Amino acid sequence: MWGSARRATGLGLLALTATGCFGPISLSSNHIDRSEPLVASGGKCTEIDPWTGETFVALTNSPVGESRNYDTYVTPDADGNWSHTFRFNGVLPPPAGHYKIAAQCNWDNEPYYGGRFILTPGDNPQIDGQLILSDATVSPGQSVTITGDRFLGTVTAGVFLYPSQTHLANVRPDADNVLRATVTIPVGTPPGQHLIIAEGWGPPGGAVRPDGTIDLTASPIWTYSASLTVGG
């Protein structure tokens, strides 16, 4: 809210014109699983913010296609370089999917660009149930519709093709807690048996109890799969 108000002032516009764009964000990896930390870094953040009298970088992590308020702040060094380590194996870990790190130097500058990465379900994810597929056999380049129940609609789920761990889509489950999506099998997918895996949050196997409270002893990760034959 403060950032929006400040951009409307002449001082904010002056700072934006003087400094230009920042970026790109550098990532330690673009394809990781939940056991790995992710280091995001950047540079050129040296000016003093006119509103706070400080120099800072604001960051946040969100699924691609969604936006979240900045919730993490780091102080760059004297040369304007900064870094922050994100971890995805905490009490409420994010589901696998396509994510974007957003970062901004002070409030009156254009955001850094880039920062996209794939968080995968890992090599051997625990499967909690079965997806329903519209077709059991498809060819590369064709689409298939998937359905999975008991996915919480408050968190975006990621859909992947295994064993390649190829990200197919980010999907927000519907208000009835059912995941519904149509995904395209990539051109070049080799013929044979594959799995479609969808990972989100969901009861009763997760950390969100039926009454809405959080069970800190269990993970909310909810993973369904279905076998798919890819033809030649």
Domains of the chain, earliest start first: 2-120 (2.60.40.10), 129-230 (2.60.40.10)
pTM: 0.85
Q: Are 64 and 152 in contact (CB under 8 A)?
A: no
| CB 59 within 8 Å of CB 72 | yes
Q: How confident is the model at residue 13 (pLDDT cuts 50, 70, 90)?
A: very low
pLDDT band at 206 (very low <50, low <70, confident <90, very high): low
pLDDT at 3: 37
Work out the average pLDDT over 203-228.
76
Instruction: Give the mean pLDDT of 104-123.
Output: 94
Would you state the pLDDT for residue 10?
31
Q: Could you tell me what percent of the chain has a pLDDT over 70?
A: 86
User: What percentage of the chain carries pLDDT values higher than 90?
Assistant: 74
**46, 76 in Cβ contact below 8 A?**
yes
Inform me whether the pLDDT recorded for 164 exceeds 90: yes
Query: Has residue 162 got a pLDDT over 80?
Result: yes
Q: Mean pLDDT in the chain?
A: 88
* pLDDT of amino acid 210: 67
The pLDDT assigned to 32 comes to 97
- pLDDT tier at 51, thresholds 50, 70, 90: confident
Look up tokens 């064993």; give the residue: 163
pLDDT > 50? residue 9: no
Q: What is the pLDDT of residue 218?
A: 74
Per-residue pLDDT of 88-111, as tens digits, reads 998 889 999 999 999 999 998 899
In one letter, which amino acid is 40?
Answer: A
